[in-house]
Structure 1
Amino acid sequence: MTDQSIDMAPLERDLPEDAPYGGRELGRALRNGWRRRCPACGAGPLMKSYLKVNDECAVCEQELHHHRADDGPAYLTILIVGHLMAPLLLIVFETFRPEPLVLFTIFAIGCVGLSLYLLPRLKGAVVGFQWARMMHGFDPHGRDED
């Protein structure tokens, strides 16, 4: 392994078993996930394709196959896009009164583009959240309730 800047927390095996969440920082894990990087080290890629999560990190060998993002990222994407685009649609309509086809075209492209941008980033953040909170098999001490 080269001497690159990896923002790793202390190794989990060096922490006491009763350390809260094994010393995993939620904010750092969410940022790394948003950037589509490994939540543990921040250096390895989290995804091997658009939405497919790697089985393990290529840099720190953290197992990532435990994640269960399921429909969470899609729900969050719809929530965010809907709450951004609905008021914007009203403002544009009331201010500029564009033709309906123009309004539809602009907002359809905007909604699809924003959704495609947010979906993999939110999936990474959900995986990072699950890793930081030791959910679904991410607990190195095997204390998972599943």
Structure 2
Amino acid sequence: MTEQSKNLATEDDRPMKRSILRGLRRRCPNCGDGIMFDGYLKVADHCPACQETLSHHRADDGPAYLTILIVGHLMAPIIHVVFTHFRPDPLVMATAFTIGCVALSLYLLPRMKGLVVNIQWSRRMHGFGT
């Protein structure tokens, strides 16, 4: 078996698109049935459904950076439009957008962590390949 055919086999058995979609749903990258988190952001050591080892992940700060990037790009234009068209009281606007940014961040953070961990699994990074 040549090196190129080994790489193709590696990419085919763990497709990136499927892993990304499962990560956004916070599901196991292998089976898609088991929940991958023990808590809000704590990744389980093993999938409860298929026993896939998930403890190899090294998500670090990646999910936080992705969350900040997405929240900033979504909220900045909305803040601009609301301010220029409606001119709300500054305290009302600050309060409303603070709540919106925090809520969106709390919603996205576990999904971004699932995405990063599942991409690592798909690409066999950090011990997921053995």
Q: Give matches, 1:80-95, under 5 Å.
A: 80-95=70-85
Q: Does 1:111 align with 2:96?
A: no
SS class of match (2:33): coil
8 Å CA contact 1:81–1:115 kept in 2: the answer is yes
Post-superposition offset of 1:58: 1.1
User: 2:38 & 2:98 partners in 1: Cα distance?
Assistant: 28
Aligned to 2:115: 125
Query: CA deviation digits over 1:21-61, x for unaligned, max 9?
Result: 36101111111111111010000110000000000111111
User: 1:135 & 1:22 partners in 2: Cα distance?
Assistant: 16
The structure with the greater share of residues assigned to helix is 2
8 Å CA contact 1:21–1:134 kept in 2: the answer is no
Q: Does 1:36 align with 2:26?
A: yes
2:37 to 31, 47, 51: 47
* Gap regions ≥5 residues in structure 1: 1-16, 141-146
Post-superposition offset of 1:139: 0.3
Aligned to 2:59: 69
Deviating runs (4+, > 6 A) in structure 1?
none
* Gap regions ≥5 residues in structure 2: none
Aligned to 2:125: 135
User: 1:22 & 1:98 partners in 2: Cα distance?
Assistant: 53
1:98 to 73, 84, 88: 88
TM-score w.r.t. the length of structure 2 is 0.92
